[in-house]
Amino acid sequence: MAKARQKTEAKASKNKLTEAQIAVHWKEEKYFYPSKKFKAQANLTDPSFVKKFSEKNFPKCFDLYAQLLDWDKSWKKTLDASNPPFWKWFVGGKLNACYNCVDRHLAQHKNKAALIFVPEPEHESAAVITYQELYKRVNETAAMLRDFAGLKTGDRVTIHMPMIPELPITMLACARLGVIHSVVFGGFSGEACGLRAADSGSRVLIYADGYHRNGKWVDHKPSADIAVETARKEGQDIDKVLFWKRYPGHYRSESPMIVNRDFFVEDILKDYRGQTVEPVSQDAEAPLFLMYTSGTTGKPKGCQHRTGGYLAYAAGTSKYYQDIHPEDVYWCMADIGWITGHSYIVYGPLALGATSVLYEGVPQFPDAARPWRIAERLDVNIFHTSPTAIRMLRKAGGDEPKKYNYHFKHMTTVGEPIEPEVWRWYYEVVGKGEAVIVDTWWQTETGGFLCTTKPALDPMKPGSAGPPALGIYPVIWDENGQEVKPGTGKAGNICIRNPWPGIMQTIWGSSERFVNQYYKKYCKNPKSKDWRDWPYYAADGAVLPADGYYRILGRVDDVINVAGHRLGTKEVESACLSVPDIAEAAVVPVVDEIKGRVPEVYISLKPGVSPSKAVKDKVVSTIETIIGKIARPKQIHIVPDMPKTRSGKIMRRVLAAISNHMDTGDITTLANPDIVAQIRELVQGRVTGPLQDGPEDIKLFGEEK
Ligand code: WTA
């Protein structure tokens, strides 16, 4: 008996995959080389600039990014690392982010387009906002926020707005005052917004009455009422809600305004016409904004970004990796409600005095050629989007780009791994074989790019983010802290050995969580005051071939990357559990042709409740109410029981394998191994096809750590 058990356990431990043990079999892709024509104008062509970022010049090398900004008072020390992992960047320096993105461009570029707003309805013409007009509008808005809303430096304000110019205007007005903005993605529900508002301690919410999305008018006002109610339940009173109107002069919501709480911005702004507000000179370390993101727990965390370091990093990477020149028309199709929009629609491009295009709608409206028509009309030459958008545009209109006369010199992909086949379509068809591609790997927490090729200088490899960005020193470790050497074909956890200016300061209100989440895993000595002992743990799996091109495999924690958006499985599970009929819930990622991964939900019901479509519908509507439509599961499976370990933990890894038609691996150590076959039959039916060798992130998903 004992022998048999030993044998089983030995087999189980052999079968238990760790990140480092997974051999990643993938075909090495051929390099693509940038055209000579492009090289001539790339911002990084000076090789001595690149050399200045060699490791021996750390951290001083980052002064080169900070020098792209105007400082009221220059910094005394580049990095103060005396209290790891709470780094201080550009210590003693003072600046204002809004001044850097707006005022300082007036002298030479006041008539240049800062923002070009493209409404989703195609019959509405694009609206240009010059730096001069941006300056006026930001100042008036700042005066209103200060004098009418009573906001002062250090206060937080939650902004739940769609992609309209008033969103960056509001953000910049906050930055002018030193008010910390927290933008919540427009597609999140009112409840999700209210929870974030409460966590950040916001007394003021800023909304829009509605917006266009995929051909429909979305009435956004009711979401504000829910947000206020949710915040109140959490103990946070909201004094004022300010509403921008999508169409000035016309209120397009059916929902009534609440007297003394809800105000139309256009009414109030009348009192502030022509007013200017002195930009508040901020300490480099003063928080600029919060951006909530999903992690391993049920509660989203507010990533707190600093003013000086963040802006320097966003500006530096925009200049050298987005390669923005003064004459370029730059279009990033992300949403400002995510970090990509903050760094690479608003702060980075505007700090450089560039022209940034803002598109209200979805890429495929009214058809899959819309982005190419916009590019042709505005003569966009730098384009930035996600693999999900690329996959969708390819599927819905693979030949469309050929019909339009636009020419990109540069294209970015961000947010998810891109399949080499999709990369090649992006390169050959969208980029017409002329544009370089940068595949940029980074995260909400990191403020800007961590891995990417140098545009026009490094060869490109489809599916690989490539070498580290300037001044970033990554390493891959296995679970035991052993380095996974380049060229071994093994995957491991990618970490960054050194601090950099774009890294978040902390998690709002929870420094302990910040340390535990990002620094504890590979900290060599918690008492150490040496930054070398405090590498940043990214929670992404990666593999590194001998050529030094990092290939990112995906999350190794309980985060599902749905269409490039982070969704915490625990958040979805706790939403399911708020339905009274549900006993247990488990959420797993499933491969999706367009969105990369989508969540699938497994639930078991409380005794006496019978399975029905009504229960499933209730779960879906609850998830949409608590989180938003982006979390809508692909399927819901009602199961008699969950596969569990002997200690009662749900084995999500087994469920993920079933949902993806993959091998479940060894299940003999489960408390209830028989349930696995039952669930497989329930999900896949009786006819089971051959099992697939699925992607690495799914193999790793739900692995007990
Ligand atoms: C994933 C988005 C592969 C990764 C900027 C990361 C990527 C998460 C890439 C962060 C890429 C981002 N290739 N995977 N080029 N870029 N990711 O916080 O799993 O919304 O951890 O930031 O997206 O998502 P977040």
Element (H, E) at 132: helix 131-147
How does DSSP assign 464-523, residue by residue? --BSBPTT--EEEE-TTS-B--TTS-BEEEEEESS--TTS--EETT-HHHHHHHHTSTT-
Q: Does residue 342 line the site of ligand 1, with CB under 6 A?
A: no
Distance 53 CA to ligand 1 centre (A): 24
Burial label, 581 (beta-carbon count in 10 A; 0-12, 13-18, 19+): middle
pLDDT digits (tens, 9 = 90+) for 467-492: 999 999 999 999 999 999 999 999 99
The residue with greater pLDDT, 299 or 436, is 436
Structure tokens, 14: 């052999």
Q: Does residue 397 line the site of ligand 1, with CB under 6 A?
A: no
User: What pLDDT does residue 687 have?
Assistant: 59
Residue 236 has pLDDT above 70, yes or no: yes
Q: Does residue 356 line the site of ligand 1, with CB under 6 A?
A: no
Q: Does residue 553 line the site of ligand 1, with CB under 6 A?
A: no
Give dist(CA 9, CA 1) in Å, integer: 12
Residue nearest to atom 12 of ligand 1 (CA): 415
**% pLDDT > 90, the chain:** 89
Least Cα distance to 437 among 427, 425, 422 occurs for: 427
Report the half-sphere exposure of 521 (CA within 13 A, side-chain side). 22
Q: Does residue 566 line the site of ligand 1, with CB under 6 A?
A: yes
What is the average pLDDT across 15-36? Answer: 72
**Residue 491 Cα to chain centre, angstroms:** 23
Q: Does residue 541 line the site of ligand 1, with CB under 6 A?
A: no
Least Cα distance to 316 among 340, 345, 347 occurs for: 347
Q: Does residue 318 line the site of ligand 1, with CB under 6 A?
A: no
Which of 549, 561, 697 has most ligand 1 atoms within 8 Å of CB, for mutation?
561
Residue 533 has pLDDT above 70, yes or no: yes
Element (H, E) at 264: strand 262-264
Least Cα distance to 230 among 199, 275, 260, 257 occurs for: 199
Residue 19 has pLDDT above 60, yes or no: no
Q: Does residue 417 line the site of ligand 1, with CB under 6 A?
A: yes
Q: Does residue 561 line the site of ligand 1, with CB under 6 A?
A: yes
pLDDT digits (tens, 9 = 90+) for 34-77: 988 888 889 999 999 999 999 999 999 999 999 999 999 999 99
127: Cβ contacts below 8 Å, ≥ 6 apart: 116, 117, 119, 165
Distance 589 CA to ligand 1 centre (A): 16
Distance 564 CA to ligand 1 centre (A): 7
For the full predicted model, state whether its pTM sits above 0.85.
yes
CA distance from start to end of the chain: 29
Distance 448 CA to ligand 1 centre (A): 11
Residue nearest to atom 3 of ligand 1 (CA): 417
pLDDT category at 701 given cuts 50, 70, 90 is confident
User: What pLDDT does residue 5 have?
Assistant: 45
Question: Do 443 and 555 touch, CB atoms closer than 8 A?
Answer: no
Give dist(CA 209, CA 220) in Å, integer: 5
| Atom number, ligand 1, closest to the C-alpha of residue 565 | 20
Residue nearest to atom 6 of ligand 1 (CA): 443
**% pLDDT > 70, the chain:** 96
Q: Does residue 695 line the site of ligand 1, with CB under 6 A?
A: no
Least Cα distance to 318 among 415, 427, 452, 435 occurs for: 452
Distance 552 CA to ligand 1 centre (A): 9
622: Cβ contacts below 8 Å, ≥ 6 apart: 575, 576, 578, 579
Which of 552, 567, 597 has most ligand 1 atoms within 8 Å of CB, for mutation?
552
Give dist(CA 455, CA 468) in Å, integer: 13
Residue 15 has pLDDT above 90, yes or no: no
Residue 320 has pLDDT above 50, yes or no: yes
Q: Does residue 340 line the site of ligand 1, with CB under 6 A?
A: yes
Distance 438 CA to ligand 1 centre (A): 14
Q: Does residue 559 line the site of ligand 1, with CB under 6 A?
A: no
User: What pLDDT does residue 25 have?
Assistant: 64
Which of 322, 343, 441 has most ligand 1 atoms within 8 Å of CB, for mutation?
441
Residue nearest to atom 25 of ligand 1 (CA): 443
Judging by DSSP bridges, how do beta strands 382-385 and 329-332 pair with one another? parallel
Q: Does residue 549 line the site of ligand 1, with CB under 6 A?
A: no
Distance 416 CA to ligand 1 centre (A): 5
User: What pLDDT does residue 299 have?
Assistant: 86
Q: Does residue 440 line the site of ligand 1, with CB under 6 A?
A: yes
Residue nearest to atom 8 of ligand 1 (CA): 443
| Atom number, ligand 1, closest to the C-alpha of residue 340 | 5
Residue nearest to atom 10 of ligand 1 (CA): 443
Residue 13 has pLDDT above 50, yes or no: no
pLDDT digits (tens, 9 = 90+) for 205-234: 999 999 999 999 999 999 999 999 999 999
For the chain, the average pLDDT equals 94
Give dist(CA 628, CA 570) in Å, integer: 15
Q: Identify the DSSP state of 611.
A: P
Give dist(CA 151, CA 141) in Å, integer: 12
User: What pLDDT does residue 14 have?
Assistant: 44
pLDDT category at 297 given cuts 50, 70, 90 is confident
Burial label, 86 (beta-carbon count in 10 A; 0-12, 13-18, 19+): middle
Q: Does residue 293 line the site of ligand 1, with CB under 6 A?
A: yes
Q: Does residue 416 line the site of ligand 1, with CB under 6 A?
A: yes
Residue nearest to atom 4 of ligand 1 (CA): 554
User: What pLDDT does residue 18 have?
Assistant: 56
What is the average pLDDT across 84-99? Answer: 98
Give dist(CA 573, CA 407) in Å, integer: 45
Q: Does residue 540 line the site of ligand 1, with CB under 6 A?
A: yes
Residues in the chain: 705
Distance 236 CA to ligand 1 centre (A): 32
User: What pLDDT does residue 9 have?
Assistant: 41
pLDDT category at 246 given cuts 50, 70, 90 is very high
